[in-house]
């Protein structure tokens, strides 16, 4: 291992750079630097060789060209194991560079601004920085590349312990991290420019996604699986990715899945009356809308109190003390609670009243907004599926609802049908939802045949199925679905339609006195 004798420092994020440079200087390392970084170090009293002194050329074009020069890149790229490379350096009068510390123009924070212009975004696309990073990472056998201020202290400690040298294992780890850093950076640029220049191209031939790790999880779906939680930079819609955890132990992989399901469903009621959603294993087991949030909580929980126990709850209004009292009522237990905000007097009730409150995860997501267009990524073995989000709602196109039976739904039935329709799109297919008086009273989810989902929903509803309405995420393939629903007491049905047996299904509904509407829109969720 050869000691570090010459380092190039050029950073946009100057966190820790002064102490890092001072430690390098104290070990006898010559520091080359550019622009703002050089000024920062000089002001701190650290000797710096300006990059233009090395290249013989001043910075040009408002700093666009400063390190793109053989005196820099030959010094970085020379493989010290090859005599011919060292001879070429000597012949050109170029000294090798042993360490490169670079982080890139702040493209991410620039484009996150609502008032950013295209010109500003383009100017914050770094060229020289990634070039130096990639060059140093490629030549990691000879050069150490540092892109993360979090690595400064460990690097200095290793150098002090090894006579100024950095071991090959560390250089390899830093190189891998550096290539991930530039790939992440370029993925953000590609996403921004796609949105600006080719918004009509939903699925480009090469699809890149930038992800930043939020946390490593204790395990995945099961204890023998490993897992981590990543966020997409710049995503601002209220979500689990943007939520602030106020209380409770670390979220697990399954918690995150269920919390996402709960929040996505309660967003359907973002602009409605107070609403409560309770999720178990990504399916809703309790959903209610009421005139007050405490009433919505109680009605949602009582819809299926056995399943609600240990579930995930999401609310579309801030949690006050009265709501907290309902959440912590006798015979209750919830893993997580998601809401736009929490009143100060609600927090002690939620966290101290019940023994399980100490571990209750409280997630604050801010004011809810309806879901926006975007992508959903789903991993398969060795591949990924990408699709647009299912955000279309009947309320946006009421003309799509078509009465197909002799009896039209009453106004009250139509309200309940649209309520059930909001919920059924968040239930695993084959999905059936029964609703009555603004409460989901029965759910049939994830069955291999639809009539079995109807039976399960009716069984869960029991006597409450009498006078309830039914929503189905896809068409009824046979009249037996309607027949089972009618026996349970269902009075009206909403479904997409589109089966080759639609006329037989409609005839069965007419024979049994049910009202039925077609939406022309399917909501499969696998």
Edge-to-edge strands of the sheet including 334-339?
Answer: 244-247, 361-364, 334-339, 311-315, 275-280, 283-289, 439-444, 432-436, 469-472, 492-495, 515-518, 402-403
Question: b/e map of 454-472 (b: 16 or more CB within 10 Å)?
Answer: bbbbbebbeebbeebbbbb
Report d(CA 155, CA 520) in Å as an integer.
62
Collapse the DSSP code of 122 into the 3-class scheme (helix H, G, I; strand E, B; otherwise coil) and give the result. Answer: helix
Q: Are 171 and 160 in contact (CB under 8 A)?
A: no
Q: Which of 281, 353, 354, 501 is catalytic?
A: 281
The phi, psi pair for 227, rounded to 5°, reads -160, 160
Q: Are 6 and 30 in contact (CB under 8 A)?
A: yes
| Residue listed under structure tokens 């949030």 | 293
CA distances from 420 to 437, 439, 495 (A): 11, 9, 11
Whether residue 138 lies in the annotated active site: yes
Report d(CA 265, CA 315) in Å as an integer.
10
Partners of 38 in beta bridges: none
Whether residue 425 lies in the annotated active site: no
Q: Which of 14, 25, 138, 353 is catalytic?
A: 138
For residue 518 the two structure tokens come to: 């077609």
**Active-site residue set:** 138, 281
């Amino acid at each position: 291992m050869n000691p570090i004798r010459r380092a190039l420092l050029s950073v946009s994020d100057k966190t820790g750079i002064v102490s890092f440079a001072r430690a390098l200087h104290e070990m006898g390392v010559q520091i080359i630097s550019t622009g703002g970084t050089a000024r920062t170090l000089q002001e701190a009293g650290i000797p710096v060789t300006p990059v233009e002194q090395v290249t013989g050329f001043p910075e040009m074009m408002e700093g666009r060209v400063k390190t793109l020069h053989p005196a820099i890149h030959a010094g970085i790229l020379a493989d010290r194991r090859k005599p011919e490379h060292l001879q070429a350096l000597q012949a050109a009068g170029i000294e090798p560079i042993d360490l490169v510390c670079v982080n890139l123009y702040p493209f991410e924070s620039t484009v996150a601004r609502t008032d950013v212009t295209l010109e500003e975004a383009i100017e914050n696309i770094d060229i020289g920085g990634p070039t130096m990073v990639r060059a140093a990472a490629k030549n990691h056998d000879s050069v150490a590349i540092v892109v993360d201020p979090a690595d400064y202290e460990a690097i200095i400690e290793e150098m002090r312990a090894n006579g100024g040298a950095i071991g090959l294992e560390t250089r390899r780890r830093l190189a891998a991290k550096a290539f991930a850093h530039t790939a992440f950076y370029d993925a953000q640029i590609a996403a921004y420019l796609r949105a600006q220049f080719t918004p009509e191209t939903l699925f480009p031939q090469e699809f890149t996604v930038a992800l930043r790790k939020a946390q490593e999880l204790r395990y995945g779906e099961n204890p023998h699986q490993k897992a981590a939680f990543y966020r997409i930079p710049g995503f601002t819609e209220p979500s689990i990715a943007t939520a602030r955890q106020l209380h409770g132990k670390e979220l697990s992989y399954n918690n995150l899945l269920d919390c996402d399901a709960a929040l996505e469903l309660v967003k359907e009621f973002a602009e409605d009356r107070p609403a409560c959603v309770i999720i178990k294993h990504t399916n809703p087991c309790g959903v209610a809308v009421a005139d007050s949030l405490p009433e919505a909580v109680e009605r949602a929980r009582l819809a299926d109190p056995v399943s609600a126990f240990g579930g995930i709850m999401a609310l579309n209004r801030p949690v006050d003390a009265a709501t907290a009292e309902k959440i912590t009522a006798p015979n209750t237990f919830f893993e997580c609670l998601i809401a736009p905000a929490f009143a100060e007097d609600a927090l002690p009730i939620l966290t101290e009243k019940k023994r399980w409150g100490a571990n209750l995860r409280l997630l604050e997501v801010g004011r809810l907004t309806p879901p926006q267009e975007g992508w959903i990524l789903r991993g398969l073995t060795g591949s990924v599926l990408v699709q647009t989000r299912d955000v279309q709602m009947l309320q946006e196109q009421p003309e799509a609802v078509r009465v197909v039976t002799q009896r039209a739904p009453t106004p009250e039935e139509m309200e309940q049908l649209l309520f059930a329709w909001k919920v059924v799109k968040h239930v695993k297919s084959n999905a059936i939802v029964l609703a009555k008086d603004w409460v989901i009273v029965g759910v049939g989810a994830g069955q291999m045949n639809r009539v079995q989902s109807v039976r399960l929903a009716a069984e869960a509803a029991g006597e409450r199925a009498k006078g309830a309405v039914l929503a189905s995420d896809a068409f009824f393939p046979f009249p037996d679905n309607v027949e089972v629903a009618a026996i349970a007491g269902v009075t009206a049905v909403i479904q997409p339609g589109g089966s080759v047996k639609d006329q037989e299904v409609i005839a069965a509904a007419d024979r049994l006195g049910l009202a039925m509407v077609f939406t022309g829109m399917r909501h499969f969720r696998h």
